Amino acid sequence: MYCVNYMSFRQPQQVWANQEKDLADLPEEDIAQLQDYTQRANTTAGSAIALLRLNGIDTYKEPVYFPDEISQLRVAQYTEEIINDNELLIYPNPADEYVIVEYSIAELSAVSSLTITNISGQIVYQEKLNYPKDELVIMTNKLPRGQYFCTINDATKAVKTEKFILIK
């Protein structure tokens, strides 16, 4: 079972709790499942790594990023999967120094883009989407506090929109 996001990660945790498994002593098949989660650089991977460390398994090395040096960082790109739904996840929300935008788009076109607008509708960030599924870290140090909308756009329409708040 390849784990995709935090909600799918919660399912085995609930099963383990219902089976009254000691998380500090998980069997090998559960450890293997946790290791699948670590293959993606997101909050789910962080939770899986914490459970692996609880079991004395410390083979994963977290990459180090220096956000002061870059304005946007591509964390991961996923190209192997067939995507059926349009998804957009933004965290942390509320955000401070950065926002992570995790998206998937069922039909990527040459003009697909990700746009962030302020409450007045002004575009404050825009990027062409090159992958049907990706995770971006966007630095927010040049944006004032307030409410923003992140939208995945296709040629003629908004595909998915989510709101987030900057608190500085």
CATH of the domain at 139: 2.60.40.1930
Place of tokens 């746009």: 115
In a domain, 59, yes or no: no
Q: Are residues 75 and 46 in the same domain?
A: no
Q: In terms of Cα–Cα distance, which of 71, 66, 39, 70 is closest to 52? A: 39
d(CA 162, CA 34): 29
Question: Looking at residue 115, what is its pLDDT?
Answer: 95
Each residue's pLDDT tens digit, 95-124: 888 888 988 888 888 889 999 999 999 999
In a domain, 63, yes or no: no
Number of domains in the chain: 2
Reported pTM:
0.55
Q: Are residues 113 and 75 in the same domain?
A: yes
Question: Looking at residue 133, what is its pLDDT?
Answer: 85
Average pLDDT over all residues of the chain: 77
Q: Are residues 95 and 129 in the same domain?
A: yes
In a domain, 60, yes or no: no
Q: Are residues 72 and 45 in the same domain?
A: no
In a domain, 61, yes or no: no
In a domain, 1, yes or no: no
Q: Are residues 78 and 151 in the same domain?
A: yes
CA distances from 29 to 20, 33, 34 (A): 16, 6, 9
d(CA 104, CA 124): 21
In a domain, 100, yes or no: yes
Each residue's pLDDT tens digit, 19-50: 888 877 888 888 787 777 776 656 666 677 67
Structural domain boundaries enclosing 99: 68-166
